[in-house]
Amino acid sequence: MIRVVILISGRGSNMASLLAAADSGALPAHIVGVLANRPDASGLNTASACGVPTAVVDHRQFASREEFDTAMAAAIDHFAPDLVVLAGFMRILGEAFVRHYQGRLLNIHPSLLPSFPGLHTHRRALAEGLRIHGCTVHFVTPDLDHGPIVVQAAVPVLDGDDEATLAARVLAQEHRVYPLAVRWFAEARLRLADGRVVFDSPQDGAAALIAPQAAGG
């Protein structure tokens, strides 16, 4: 099984979904560590309760992003991971850090990239009047939220939705596709070629997963 380190900044709900998948045997991976850039990240308690080692590299203790990146990379490499997974990690990582983990650094973003990179994706989707929204798992590159796409899940935007209801519908799909993407990586079923993700064997379903519409929608 591959060794996985997860980076969080808050409650880490996607981290929890990965831990549950690994614990059930659905994910052929060993979560060897959970790291946070905030000492008050509640996901640290979740990880500890599951017996996973945790560490904090507080970004506020460093004078520059480069110094923080260096310290975070040293903390990650202590666990000798095969894959690093960002799960609600709210720090922009520098180019040297990203290059260090090139091809083994995944992120999940709450929009159907390339639409709405950055923050407040649900608010922006509603403001634009979208009827379809979703999430994207992608490899991280130095270009923010523009790495090669592994899998996407789409959900309907329903009449009467606000940020909270739309975010909850998207989050349910995040918890579905992130363990799936990590499993594909663990099983060596995907690779990068010419800046795109290539599947070397059939995956479970299409690369774009459409969630069932909510009852009555």
- The string of pLDDT tens digits covering residues 62-118 is 999 999 999 999 999 999 999 999 999 999 999 999 999 999 999 999 999 999 999
What's the CA gap between 72 and 56, in Å, rounded?
9
Tokens read off for 84: 């690093």
What's the CA gap between 126 and 15, in Å, rounded?
27
Mind listing the pLDDT tens digit for each residue in 151-176? Answer: 999 999 999 999 999 999 999 999 99
- What does the pLDDT average to over 171-186? 96
Whether domain 2-210 has CATH 1.20.200.10: the reply is no
Tokens read off for 175: 């918890």
Kindly tell me if the per-residue pLDDT of 213 is higher than 70: no
What's the CA gap between 9 and 166, in Å, rounded?
22
Domain assignments of the chain as residue spans, ordered by start: 2-210
Kindly tell me if the per-residue pLDDT of 215 is higher than 70: no
Kindly tell me if the per-residue pLDDT of 206 is higher than 50: no
Phi and psi at residue 127, in whole multiples of 5°? -65, -30
Q: Specify whether 109 is catalytic.
A: yes
- Return the amino acid letter for 132: I
pLDDT of 169: 96
How are beta strands 54-56 and 29-36 bridged, if at all?
Answer: parallel
What's the CA gap between 5 and 15, in Å, rounded?
10
93: closest CA among 136, 139, 25, 152? Answer: 139
What's the CA gap between 139 and 120, in Å, rounded?
21
What is the DSSP secondary-structure string of 33-88? EEEESSTT-THHHHHHHTT--EEE--GGG-SSHHHHHHHHHHHHHTT--SEEEESS
Q: Which residue has the higher pLDDT, 202 or 40?
A: 40
Residue pair 81/3 in contact (Cβ under 8 Å)? The answer is: yes
Q: Which of 30, 59, 109, 146 is catalytic?
A: 109
